[in-house]
Amino acid sequence: MTEACAPTVNTGLRGVTVASTKISDVIGDQGKLIYRGFLVSDLAKNTCFEEIVHLLLFEKLPTAEELTALKQKLTAERAVPDALIEALKTRPADALPMDILQAAVPMLANHDSDVTDTSQEAALRMAIRLVAKLPTVLAAWERIRKGLAPVSPDPELDHSANFLYMLFGKPADSETVRFFDTGLVLHAEHSFNASTFAAREVASTRAHMYAAVSAAIGSLSGELHGGANVRVMRMLLDIGSPDKAEAYVNRVLDEGKKIMGLGHAVYKTDDPRAHILAPMSKRAGELAGDTRWYEISKILEEKGKKAFKERKGTDIYVNVDFYSASLYYSMGIPVDLYSPLFAISRVAGWTAHVIEEQFAGAAPKPMLYRPESKYIGEYCGPEECRFVPMDQR
């Protein structure tokens, strides 16, 4: 192949449009995020997570009756099979919670007869089950690994209040529930991020909902994606006090390392979700009687942006994982659960994308993802290609 015909390699697929979607838009230069036409900043102020699930899966904000019906469905689907709880009890206590969550997904599939039903109705039922059950799995795992009995879902509680109840074994106060719920609203959807792309890629083969969601959880776990919130909190703990933040920034950047929670593949300004999470982090710190983690974050943001600009000549901004870390910490949630928390929210977006991938009527119709690669290995001549038995190599 001549140099002129050689394919261009688009690492990271940046700027490559691979599908149409009606689910969300990330307007990177304006710092806007839109779920099905609505600004996420409006949704965060005015809706609960169940309304977002309705918006993403049923393509509209629910009426009061529709919201009640969805809440009832979620309540009915929250319990997980006993066999799954027993399987969790066999896992080592130091297993990574994202691995536990990912492994639970095919186990849930084993108990769902809809996996062989290829209709859109079955896909929706599986989506609702996953939204309902993943928090139960996560809360159960947190208790099992501490040697405690899992807490059964409380049918009287809404999604977020119920999760916090199952996690802590007692009801959370209303402000904490509201902050947690807003966190779920903010993490629910983000167009073609890596994990959603993973879900859609698997769905494009016509694999079932659980297969796609399991792949998405694996993708989300990485530190460049949803795994970043755990790293942000470890970084804050490592820094320990606000007076050490600036030195930390300089050291990390001088060593050519990354400050977790800064930077984004699409946003060229602040991530709008970070603006909503930051005051919640501050307030949650006040409620917990310790605003240190918020204060360190503020200094890291300011000094990190400045030091990055000085070194690279370009701007960098905070992303969603930056202030969610200190928010969850002040709520008393164990650090390694932060990425799974991201997953129990993003499952709403993933499942909506799987349905769009498999059933969207809009043109262009999605098709099996099958990109090209540019082969840079060797081409053998006829002699060299002759197979050589093992003992003659």
Ligand X SMILES: CC(=O)SCCNC(=O)CCNC(=O)[C@H](O)C(C)(C)COP(=O)(O)OP(=O)(O)OC[C@H]1O[C@@H](n2cnc3c(N)ncnc32)[C@H](O)[C@@H]1OP(=O)(O)O
Ligand Y SMILES: O=C([O-])CC(=O)C(=O)O
Which residues are part of the catalytic machinery? 264, 321
319 interacts with ligand X by CB under 6 A: yes
- Distance of closest approach, residue 229 Cβ to ligand X, in angstroms: 8
Tokens of 99: 């691995």
Q: Which residue is nearest to ligand Y (CB)?
A: 193
159 interacts with ligand Y by CB under 6 A: no
Distance (Å, whole) CA 115 – CA 221: 25
Q: Which residue is nearest to ligand X (CB)?
A: 263
Q: Where are the beta strands (DSSP E) in the chain?
A: 24-27, 32-35, 38-39
264 interacts with ligand X by CB under 6 A: yes
Whose Cβ is closer to ligand Y: residue 22's or residue 89's?
22
Distance (Å, whole) CA 163 – CA 350: 20
Q: Which listed option, ligand Y, ligand X, none, makes contact with residue 326 (CB within 5 to 8 Å by class)?
A: none
Is 103 within 8 Å of 46 (Cβ atoms)?
A: no
263 interacts with ligand X by CB under 6 A: yes
Distance (Å, whole) CA 33 – CA 190: 8
320 interacts with ligand Y by CB under 6 A: yes
36 interacts with ligand X by CB under 6 A: no
| Other CB atoms within 10 Å distance of the CB of residue 281 | 27
226 interacts with ligand X by CB under 6 A: yes
User: Alpha helices of 146-262 — where are they, by DSSP H?
Assistant: 159-168, 174-187, 194-203, 209-220, 228-239, 245-254
Q: Where are the beta strands (DSSP E) in 88-189?
A: none
Q: State the residue for tokens 């000549």.
A: 313
Distance (Å, whole) CA 154 – CA 161: 9
Distance (Å, whole) CA 97 – CA 116: 28
Hey, which residues between 177 and 206 contact ligand X (CB under 6 A)? 193
Is 190 within 8 Å of 24 (Cβ atoms)?
A: yes
252 interacts with ligand Y by CB under 6 A: no
Site string for ligand X, 321-360 (x = CB under 6 A): x---------------------------------------
303 interacts with ligand X by CB under 6 A: no
231 interacts with ligand Y by CB under 6 A: no
- Distance of closest approach, residue 193 Cβ to ligand Y, in angstroms: 3
265 interacts with ligand Y by CB under 6 A: yes
Task: Express the helix, strand and coil content of the chain in percent, nearest 5 each.
Answer: 60, 5, 35
Q: Figure out which of the listed residues 73, 258, 268, 292 binds ligand X, where binding follows CB under 6 A.
A: 258
224 interacts with ligand X by CB under 6 A: yes
Q: Which listed option, ligand X, ligand Y, none, makes contact with residue 266 (CB within 5 to 8 Å by class)?
A: ligand Y
Distances (CA, A) of 113 to 29, 131, 187, 271, 328: 44, 17, 29, 40, 36
266 interacts with ligand Y by CB under 6 A: yes
Contact range with ligand X by CB under 6 A, out of 75-83, 125-133, 258-266, 357-365? 258-266
190 interacts with ligand Y by CB under 6 A: yes
Tokens of 169: 């074994």
Whose Cβ is closer to ligand X: residue 101's or residue 316's?
316
How many residues form the binding site for ligand X (CB under 6 A)? 17
225 interacts with ligand X by CB under 6 A: yes
Distance (Å, whole) CA 359 – CA 242: 51
Contact range with ligand X by CB under 6 A, out of 122-130, 136-144, 313-321, 325-333? 313-321
Contact range with ligand X by CB under 6 A, out of 101-109, 119-127, 148-156, 223-231? 223-231
Distance (Å, whole) CA 99 – CA 192: 22
Distance (Å, whole) CA 192 – CA 200: 9
Contact range with ligand X by CB under 6 A, out of 23-31, 79-87, 122-130, 225-233? 225-233
Binding site for ligand X (CB under 6 A): 193, 224-226, 228, 258-265, 316, 319-321
